């Protein structure tokens, strides 16, 4: 009799555990259907022109410059307060894919490869800083100006 109760409990417990593991898997989509996420309720087109007037290379004094890249892309999210951004920054030197966030009129974008990491920060009033960190060296170059 001593073994009957524990054996009975094991017999009843095993099917329940097996059933839990099969219920956890999501059902497979029907043949021929495509599963997609619904579109974000808040979407915006990004089209920004920047004008940087100061260039600061590592430990050297800043010098005047004329660097004017354009940033284009899209922003979207569940709330207008914080949007995810996918964009490209195009300049005479190169085109860089940047991702990040947009809050009101402020943006924080980053991208590039291991050899050169890019960070673009745009304040709500348009004041901007663009920095490139190069692995070779290493060296950092910053640009100060405005983006609108």
For residue 137, what pLDDT is reported?
Answer: 87
For residue 90, what pLDDT is reported?
Answer: 98
Res 111 pLDDT > 80: yes
Res 11 pLDDT > 80: no
Going by their DSSP bridges, the two strands 82-90 and 116-122 should be labelled as unpaired
DSSP 32: T
The 10s digit of each residue's pLDDT in 43-94 is: 999 999 999 999 999 989 999 999 999 999 999 998 888 899 999 999 999 9
Neighbours of 48 (CB within 10 A): 19
- What's the whole-number average pLDDT of the chain? 82
Res 1 pLDDT > 50: no
What is the 3-class SS of 124-144, one letter each residue? CCCEEEEEEEECCCCEEEEEE
Res 42 pLDDT > 60: yes
The 10s digit of each residue's pLDDT in 17-33 is: 333 334 444 455 555 55
Q: Find the mean pLDDT for residues 5-16.
A: 41
Contacts of 16 (CB under 8 A, 6+ apart): none
pTM of the model: 0.72
DSSP 59: T
């Amino acid at each position: 009799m001593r073994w009957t109760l524990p054996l009975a409990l094991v017999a009843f417990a095993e099917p329940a555990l097996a059933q839990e593991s099969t219920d956890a898997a999501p059902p497979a989509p029907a043949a021929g259907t495509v599963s997609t996420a619904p579109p974000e309720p808040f979407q915006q087109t990004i089209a920004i022109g920047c004008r940087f007037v100061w260039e600061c290379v590592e430990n050297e004094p800043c010098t005047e410059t004329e660097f004017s890249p354009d940033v284009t892309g899209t922003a979207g999210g569940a709330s207008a307060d914080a949007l995810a951004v996918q964009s490209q920054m195009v300049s005479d030197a190169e085109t860089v894919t940047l991702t990040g966030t947009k809050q009101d009129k402020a943006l924080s974008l980053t991208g590039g490869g291991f050899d050169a990491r890019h960070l673009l920060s745009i304040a709500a009033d348009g004041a901007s800083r663009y920095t490139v960190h190069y692995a070779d060296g290493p060296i950092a170059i910053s640009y100060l100006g405005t983006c609108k």
